[in-house]
Chain A
Amino acid sequence: MIYPKSLIIAVFVSFFIVFAQACGGDDTADRTSGQAETAEAGLSEFELEHGVGPITERIELSDEFDPELVEKGRNIYEMKCEMCHNMEGRMVGPALGDVMERRSAEFVMNFILNPSGMVREHPTGQELLREYMTAMPYQNVMEDEARAIVEFLREYNELN
């Protein structure tokens, strides 16, 4: 398509003004340094407690551990998580041996399924990123696999 140059310039100029405003001051600060108040304001109560991501409802957990699910979770954990997390003591990321005491199952699943969203939008995620200075990657884990990892972490927490 061919537009007259004056029109293009006009469009450019107006874009520039909009962007210049958008780029000034507070807005950027929110996104990069993550001011908790502003971010919190945008999150629902569920999200504040259970994280942002594909898990938007409470899931059912029974008191008994499903051994098959635990085994599946262990295999995925050893392949896709263990190089960054210890059960005890800090490594690339925080220790996960007691994470099921600190966090809800939904929170952990959202962290696995949406790590970049969590560190961008969730106050706890923002804090963790500031502390660990490496962004946890999405490890190509499906929802049922994240559920299995939760089962494995729950059992570990129980036994240790």
Chain B
Amino acid sequence: MLTDLYIPGDSLLHRARPAWKLAILFLYCTALFVVTHPVVLTLGLLLVALGYGAAGLSPRDAFTAIRPALFVLVIIFAAQLWLAGLSMAVYVTLRLMALLLAAALVTYTTRASEFTEGIMALLSRAPAWVPKDKIALAMSLVWRFIPLIRAQFDEVREAQRARGLERNMLALLVPLVVRTLKTADEVAEAITARSLD
């Protein structure tokens, strides 16, 4: 979910209206939480797998989507195992995975500009003092810069590994924070230069 928020394609899911996708995602999540039954969960997992297939996404894309959360999933699994037993632990973990996969399916198939347009449409009734353009721009910047910051992190880690410092938190964080701040400055400047307001 962190490396690629959008994967270009031309499937039905790619072409569907973002508002519909979000509405279905909402229903999907609610259903999985409200109806606690293995059959519903199985159906839910099946549905999400079908969705990935229909969107032309690979199992690797699916794994990429849950990889950042693996650590949390393991902790939840362990806690449930200890508190409620094996079957509950499996159930809860799988359900969380289904939700993550479904959310990623929506971001995988929706362009940032579609999201921002959707948000703009939702905000069209908001009062005039709400900075609609700025909110939309901030949203698209998140889309653009999560991968960039992640790439910077990988670069810094590689450079520090070459110097034998990969276990030193400070050696990783200081350059990353400095670069991120500098990036933010330059980006703000570029936005000023590229837009007229």
Q: Does B associate with A?
A: no
